[in-house]
Structure 1
């Protein structure tokens, strides 16, 4: 039957479906609060690719013969996979290295395993005719992305939709940022241009003129979006892609093309692109590019290099493990960041994938990846060498039909490879890179079969037959059975974790939803942090109510501390977990001073994990001040002051520490500086308090008056100015201010006694 649904049909349908929906795939009930565009895409890969892989193996089992691509190119891929596995095993956070760090999901072990399965499946299973169907799926996916972007742009213009609009939020959660979109469009545009200007490929893939016109329309539309986004790395990639296609099409496939028309198109396009790039270099503000990267929590190149260098010194061989960059950033961030506009941010991605690789897989992983890249440059060289000789020899028609598609595939692979040294790709770009690589391997396999010794290296299929190799076949069957059982178990965990994310993002679920998320996925320490904060806020609310329930508040406090401790136990190297524990102890310490000691301990641990963060030093210094550890307070606050210039919190609290350690004049020097830059009631009050303590009542009165000009009902300032007036003998004026304090605090016995004492003296 023509429309008979076979296993081959199901496998191809699932594979094409994955290619089409991945770029825009997301589910609203598991959309991260952090704009985590990769979460659902990773899960889609973890589920669909193994499913497709095992369907293929099941079919092979039924037929009694397994077929795998056999080439020495398998060596660097398997080596790279082994390094990823070892790096994950010895990782700072094994859970994040396997399943991805929350809010990052760059390339955890499960994703890399899925990508490798994609490569071996595609290169081994599909036939030459399937390449056309897969490429059509890539183009259809491109249409969907461009169409949705068009809707977004029209909505922004006509309806003035801002960054908070549902449409824009949907785009960020599905496609990622506009910078990610620009790189995606640049890569796919070059791929499609390679097809359009390759007559043999064009005739195979796009046969109807109407379809060609539709593709050209979407191509022009995507270039318009590139102009609107104006992301410099995207332009550089387009330029590199056009130069590569020009060289390949005109010097290696010259017998197949209309050379003059190609020459005009490429030269005009390259000149226009050079103009755009020069405008970006000399006219457009360079800070725009830096700010856009920062908005994505993506670090700049200099700091990425600095952190990578420190990471290699500390963990040279296998690095810190996949998806652990947020940990490493905190540990090795340079203090110079503190004097930039983005000093308060914790970056979760370096400037480029190569830095991520160095940091998370070490020297061994980086060398393995470079080894892998060299292999594929060798493959590119062989393709070009084959093209140069093939069109003079003119081999079989099938090879001649499909091998020219390789030229169109080589361009995006090269761009994505180059891009990994300059950009941080998302999961869609990583997927496309490996998809195009696997299609190149498939074409190399077909050429090796049809052209005999004319193409090197050999890409052949290794066959294990049930009849000829029964022992090997049965052993492989047992291995597949165990792997399938493992995948089913893993799949059950993935479903649980997906449901956990849905509960976590369901805001109205409150404590119940958060506890469900923790129960379903106890490995996610951020769930426990959020639950700890929720319990703390509920406890504080209960304590501040008139008819407060002390027992209920106490239970909430204990629960908050317990969840925060569990998060630290789950992720002991996480600065976020340790800082959250310190904040909870600190906030609860307002009602129970005993907890301040535990807060100090937690902030000390946090400071070890992020030693150049001045905020942690300030928090620690404030706690030392509250507990009377003045020497320690001075030490850490001086450190905070040195870490960041003109940091109000550090300077102000250091002045308070100096005043309490007998260095009043040093304190006044700091406060005089602050007053000139950031005058406030708190600063004036602290100055007045110090002047009062050293007996300079006139200056104290002046400062307290400044406070009252800003905050007329400032109780402490009213009381202090009363004391100052009393100190200079103006008891009537002092009495006036004390009475104002009593009006604000009618039940204050201390002020009542003070007023009575002054009135008796009169």
Structure 2
């Protein structure tokens, strides 16, 4: 076996030509093309076929092209019968980091979300991190040549210029037929501005080191002119976006990167013969410093980004680390910050409009990493950043080879600014890709030791390498197949959601959801949504097969209902088995069994237990206590119907059950109100409890407060009017019903009960007018037609009628849908 190690900076122009990519081989061309496509597509790539048009598509491209470039790199060495790799202690850190992420994923709370990623968490999953590490090693070992890096820079500049121009056109409405006003292909507007700032710093660096006669890091001739135009476009677009967003972290990132460019230029002045070119970075630095302290008056209408504060983020991270040794060392698992946020968010959030939003990342990337990967993960990440920075700084201070120094200078200044942004702000897949990709470029310059092994001198090693290449190829093919199946499931799921939003029937929605679960049986999201779709199908079948009075459903109909009910329950149970720490799965389970209380034995107990578990996973969210109370109210209502039974023993038990259920409902609702004092839903159902307990004065007081809080909510106003009627306060009831009709003239029940009050007052013409309106709104309702006929004959009554919609008269309805709370979702 012939093995040699090469050391020293003198290898930059000679030894590096021996790396596989430098040769015009088939594999070398594939590797170049794959890398160029990666740097062009990752920032700009999106497709409308999936629910998340960005992250999942970018991850798919990352996996495919990273593995293709990796296989091409290995294949080129096998074909040349020579193993050529860079070695040094920097190689160890990414391997340790991926091992740390591996163990964190093994003990994760999320399973699939940690291993592969979903719901915008692809950027932090084990699979994505593995691809980043693979990409780092490929770039480090195969991209040291200036011509390769020129191609990477060009691809990135083109991508940034296109995405920047498209974003500006979108915000001005020029692309409104195709994309929305707040569109950008990277993510939130803040992460997009971070991306543009990174590319701008790269472009300014290239501008500074290029010469008219010898562009060096830029292409020659017309292509050099095109690159300079692209740099100008990126600079202008980025300034417009930065001034419009006016976010201090972005200004700090730009200041840091520009200062690095200027400082190193002073250290190595001989590399910058044309000092006039420093006018551009100096102007950019001046603008950045100015707007860091002065608020920008310029706005382009970009969407406002909301994220947890630094204080809240740090508090959640500290709570996660205190859970125990496992959480301290390994965190909660990749992609699980939304679980951490749900569990440890402060109750003060309930006083904001974001009280029911579960943020999926902390204020900064390092805080998100600390919570999800633990102390081991964040320490290894920081060690990697420091190690790359130290190696790069050492090369910048010692390197004397012109081209080598310039490459390191340009790459390091942009990469260092991006690293700072990850410390100060959150991240996504595009920013993580650039972080690892440019770390690989820096390593290709700083890892100067190259080890070469000639297979021709060692047949055994050559055979082993060929066998390893085949095994790796098979592994790659398996990963690509699984990725394809996963992508197929994403498309099917998106199709189901679009059908649902378009008003399709439950049966139509169920089919693509089944396809999604079959293509990818590891995602709780698919099973949870399938369970809900099956629930809707159960509802529709119950309505379609409702028997006539005195008749029962056929055995076939009963079997169909039972089958759909069982399938719905099995789906939500599967979702919980996949992700037992996801509060959404328990919420859906509780709602499911609440709906099935008349179909499934002991469903009420299962529903209550589910909402209780949801409350444990998200203790400061009042919604779960309110949901528990709704189940108790349903139990109380069922018990009330049994009080008419002739068996006194049954009546006695029903009275006690109703009393206990109402007491528990009151307790749960009071707990919800303690968490959120202005929680309209809890106040509404607490009034329902008081009304059922005969505490009409307290019920009326609460309902009146709700009416004042939401005066345009006709549902609340109607319930208040009914309470007034129950108290025989007909004057206030009449005023309330008339107010409701003024807001919503087609509200049949308000007119129905207003007619009764007019009857009590002797205003027969007013009663006839109101009932006539109800007849017009409900022409097929026999009860309404008979009442109108009686009134016209002069027959009046002081007894309140049943509602237009058949059912027991009550001051509150458990199916009331008008009491809602608005929340504004945020990506960060």
* 1:114 is aligned to 2:122: no
Q: Does the aligned pair in 2 maintain the 1:237–1:419 contact within 8 Å?
A: yes
Determine the C-alpha separation between the residues in 1 that align with 2:530 and 2:81: 53
Counterpart in 2 of 1:324?
336
| 1:205 aligned counterpart, secondary structure | coil
Hey, what's the Cα distance between the residues in 1 that align with 2:74 and 2:221? 39
Number of the residue aligned with 1:569:
577
Distance 1:97 1:625, change over 3 A: same
| Cross-structure match for 2:295 | 280
| 1:28 has 2:44 as partner | no
Structure 1 pair 604–85 and aligned structure 2 pair: CA distance change class (3 A)? same
| Matching of residue 490 in structure 1 with residue 479 in structure 2 | yes
The alignment partner of 1:236 has SS state of helix
Deviation at 1:444? 2.0
Separation in structure 2 between the aligned mates of residue 207 and residue 497 of structure 1, nearest angstrom: 40
TM-score (norm 2): 0.77
1:444 aligns with 2:461: no
In structure 2, do the counterparts of structure 1 residues 5 and 212 end up closer, same or farther at CA, with 3 Å as the change threshold?
closer
Which string of whole-angstrom CA distances, capped at 9 and with x for unpartnered residues, describes residues 551-599 of structure 1? 4455434333332222222222112222222233334558889644433
Partner deviation per Cα, 1:636-681 (whole Å, 9 max, x = no partner): 2112112223221121212222344465544444334333332355
- 8 Å contact from structure 1 (residues 684, 704) kept in 2: no
Q: Which residue of 2 aligns with 1:243?
A: 259
CA–CA separation in structure 2 for the residues paired with 1:358 and 1:63: 43
Q: Distance in 2 between matches of 1:272 and 1:424?
A: 24
CA apart distance, 1:219 = 2.5
Contact 1:91 1:322 in 2 (8 A): yes
- Do 2:78 and 2:465's aligned partners in 1 also have CA atoms closer than 8 Å? no
| Corresponding residue for residue 368 of structure 1 | 380
Alignment pair present for 1:215 and 2:231: no
User: Shift of the alpha carbon at 1:749?
Assistant: 14
Counterpart CA distance in 2 for 1:682 and 1:240 is 56
Q: When the two structures are aligned, how many residues end up with a matched partner?
A: 714
Give the counterpart of 1:707 among 737, 745, 764. 737
Once residues 125 and 564 of structure 1 are traced to their aligned partners in structure 2, the CA distance between those partners, rounded to angstroms, is 48
CA distance in 1, matches of 2:725, 2:131: 70
Q: Does 1:139 align with 2:139?
A: no
Supply the distance in 1 between the matched residues of 2:541 and 2:149 (Cα, whole angstroms). 60
**1:290-318 deviation line (CA, Å, top 9, x unaligned):** x7222xxx434332222222221222110
Task: Note closer, same or farther for the CA distance 1:93–1:730 as it changes in structure 2 (3 Å cut).
Answer: same
1:169 Cα deviation after fit: 8.6
Is the 1:604–1:620 contact (alpha carbons within 8 Å) kept by the matching residues of 2? yes
Instruction: Identify the residue that residue 36 of structure 2 maps to in structure 1.
Output: 16
| 1-structure distance, mates of 2:579, 2:428 | 25
Inter-CA distance 501–677: structure 2 relative to 1 (3 Å threshold): closer
> CA offsets per residue over residues 416-437 of structure 1, 9 Å max, x none?
1101012222222211111111
- Deviation sequence 1:114-151 (CA, Å, 0-9, x none): 1111111222234x43x332333332332234235424
**Structure 1 residue 38: Cα displacement:** 1.2
Q: CA deviation at 1:701?
A: 5.0
Q: Specify the SS of the correspondent of 1:404.
A: helix
Between the aligned partners of 1:344 and 1:759, the Cα distance in structure 2 is: 46
Rounded to whole Å, the distance in 2 between the matches of 1:730 and 1:179 is 64
Residues 152 and 167, structure 1, Cα contact 8 Å, conserved in 2: no
Tell me the equivalent position of 2:657: none
Rate the CA distance shift 1:103–1:714 in 2: closer, same or farther, 3 A.
same
Deviations 1:213-247 (A, max 9, x none): 43333333223322432332333322211111000
1:385-424 superposed matches below 5 A? 385-387=397-399, 390=400, 399-424=401-426
Quickly say closer, same or farther: Cα 1:578–1:749, change in 2 above 3 A: farther
2 CA distance for matches of 1:521 and 1:332?
31
8 Å CA contact 1:293, 1:300 repeated in 2: no
1:715 to 1:623, Cα distance in 2 relative to 1, 3 A:
farther
CA 1:235/1:632 → structure 2, altered by over 3 Å: closer, same or farther? Answer: same
Distance, in Å, in 2 between the alignment partners of 1:759 and 1:319 is 68
How far is 1:532 from its partner? 2.3
SS at match of 1:176: coil
Indicate yes or no: 2:321 matched with 1:312. Answer: yes
Residue in structure 1 matched with residue 430 of structure 2 by the alignment: 428
Aligned to 1:450: none
The alignment's C-alpha RMSD in Å is: 3.9
- Aligned equivalent of 2:490: 501
Which runs of no fewer than 5 residues in structure 1 stay unpaired? 391-398, 446-458
1:109 positional shift:
0.8
Secondary structure in 2 aligned to 1:514? Answer: helix
Alignment correspondent of 1:43: 60
Q: How far apart in 2 are the matches of 1:660 and 1:736?
A: 29
Deviation at 1:479, TM superposition (A): 5.0
Query: Is the CA contact (8 Å cut-off) linking 2:365 and 2:422 kept in structure 1?
Result: yes
Once the two structures are superposed, the pairs formed by residues 13-412 of structure 1 within 5 Å of their partners are 13-29=33-49, 31-32=50-51, 35-126=52-143, 128-129=144-145, 131-151=146-166, 153-154=168-169, 157=172, 161-162=175-176, 165-168=177-180, 172=184, 174-199=185-210, 203-208=215-220, 210-229=222-241, 230-231=244-245, 232=247, 233-250=249-266, 252-258=267-273, 260-280=275-295, 292-294=304-306, 298-314=307-323, 315-387=327-399, 390=400, 399-412=401-414
Deviation larger for 487-496 or 212-221: 212-221
Please give the secondary structure, in 1, of the residue aligned with 2:193. helix
SS in 2 for 1:406: helix
In 1: Cα distance, 2:581 partner to 2:783 partner: 49
**Where do 1:638-677 residues align within 5 Å?**
638-661=670-693, 664-677=696-709
1:77 CA displacement: 1.6
| Match for residue 593 of structure 2 among 585, 600, 622 | 585
Whole-Å Cα distance in 2 between the matches of residues 659 and 270 of structure 1? 67
Are 1:600 and 2:608 matched, yes or no?
yes
More helix by share: 1
- Cα distance between partner residues in 1 of 2:393 and 2:171: 46
Q: CA deviation at 1:520?
A: 0.8
Change (3 A) 1:146 1:400: closer
Distance in 2 (CA, whole Å) between partners of 1:749 and 1:186 is 71
**8 Å Cα contact 1:529/1:563 also seen in 2:** yes
Q: Is the contact between residue 152 and residue 168 of structure 1 (CA under 8 Å) also seen in structure 2?
A: no
Partner of 1:515: 514
The unaligned stretches of length 5 or more in structure 2 are 1-21, 500-507, 548-552, 637-660, 800-828
CA distance in 2, matches of 1:596, 1:322: 35
Give, in whole Å, the separation in 2 of the partners of 1:36 and 1:312. 33
Counterpart Cα distance in 2 of 1:257 and 1:713: 77
CA–CA distance in 2 between the matches of 1:732 and 1:11?
A: 88
Question: What residue is the counterpart of 1:395 in the other structure?
Answer: none
1:380 shift after superposition: 3.1
